Amino acid sequence: MSVLSAKAFESVTRLFHGVSGIRLGEHKQALVAGRLQKLAQESGEDSVDAYVERLVGGHAPAEEMTRVIDRLTTNETYFFREPQHFNDLSVRLRAEPRREWQVWSAASSSGEEAYSAAMLMDEVLGDGAWQITGTDLSTAMVESARRGLYPLDRARLVPPAYLGRYCLKGQREHEGQLLVARTLRQRVRFLQANLMQELPKLPLFDVIFLRNVLIYFDNEAKGQIVRRVLRQLKPDGVLYTGHAESLSTLGLPLRTLATAIHGHG
């Protein structure tokens, strides 16, 4: 099977950007080629370029674009990534334990971020009034998050007490994996959502995690996404962004509370 040509790469990334808002630079060509090659094989095409031509020409089934999005947006993450945010959340939860907490993991990937917050909230709030919503562009990631089954190496930052309380160690065919406990999974719901489009019906949130996703967008798209997300944040709510993501030049109605921690401006 042939490699992905520069022309086909430009065509498919332009299509992908139009659907998702995500720009894939030339340095991603090898990654895109590898993932599309598998899709081309699965669809019976003789070459990656032929697969792209069928996709861009509108001759592929509608669900094929969903498969492309799923493959091109798959990113590995891990539990308790950027722990400063979870330390900050812990302080906020302990200051208002009787509050009805709503938390949104807005780019939840395979769910580790949402379940990390759930472990912390269960420890602090127990059976109190709290719920977590996770959303992601990829339907495959949403289904994976709902299962709550992960390689053990993604739990390297999980406190040992949490591992014992909230995670089940896999046996036999699941050796080397962990399963998030059902009691925790019942507190977290996952939905498909495109942050560049109208969002599904969501509540207002006290806390929103919008981390390590804005780096894939240009400044115009970043501004659109953050403004859309902010409409779901309560007036006294807090927005967590990735430490490598700067919002200072976007003219957004935000005030910085601490590094990568924001409130309404």
Question: Which of 76-85, 118-127, 212-221 shows the highest mean pLDDT?
Answer: 118-127
Active site residue 35: yes
* Paired tokens of 243: 């430490």
Distances (CA, A) of 33 to 14, 83, 98, 99, 255: 15, 34, 51, 48, 41
1 has pLDDT over 80: no
Please give the pLDDT value at position 27.
Answer: 86
DSSP characters for the chain?
A: -PPPPHHHHHHHHHHHHHHH-----GGGHHHHHHHHHHHHHHHT-S-HHHHHHHHHTT-S-HHHHHHHHHHHT-----TT-SHHHHHHHHHHHHH-TTS-EEEEETT-TTSHHHHHHHHHHHHHHTTSSEEEEEEES-HHHHHHHHHTEEEGGGGTTS-HHHHHHHEEE--GGGTTEEEE-HHHHTTEEEEE--TTSPPPS---EEEEEE-S-GGGS-HHHHHHHHHHHHTTEEEEEEEEE-TT---TTS--SEEEEETTEEEE-
Is 60 exceeded by the pLDDT of residue 2? no
Does 233 score more than 60 pLDDT?
Answer: yes
- Domain range list for the chain: 6-72, 83-264
User: Tell me: the pLDDT tens digits for 147-195?
Assistant: 999 999 999 999 999 999 999 998 888 899 999 999 999 999 999 999 9
Average of per-residue pLDDT across 61-79: 82
Active-site residue identified among 88, 122, 136, 206? 136
Average pLDDT over residues 94-122: 97
Q: What are phi and psi of 29, to 5 degrees?
A: -60, -40
Enter the pTM of the model: 0.86
CA distances from 22 to 15, 30, 81, 194, 247 (A): 10, 17, 22, 11, 17
The model's pLDDT over 202-214, given as tens digits with 9 standing for 90+, comes to 999 999 999 989 9
**Is the pLDDT assigned to residue 72 strictly greater than 90?**
no
CATH number of 83-264: 3.40.50.150
Which of these is catalytic: 35, 67, 185, 211?
A: 35
Architecture of the domain spanning 6-72: Orthogonal Bundle (1.10)
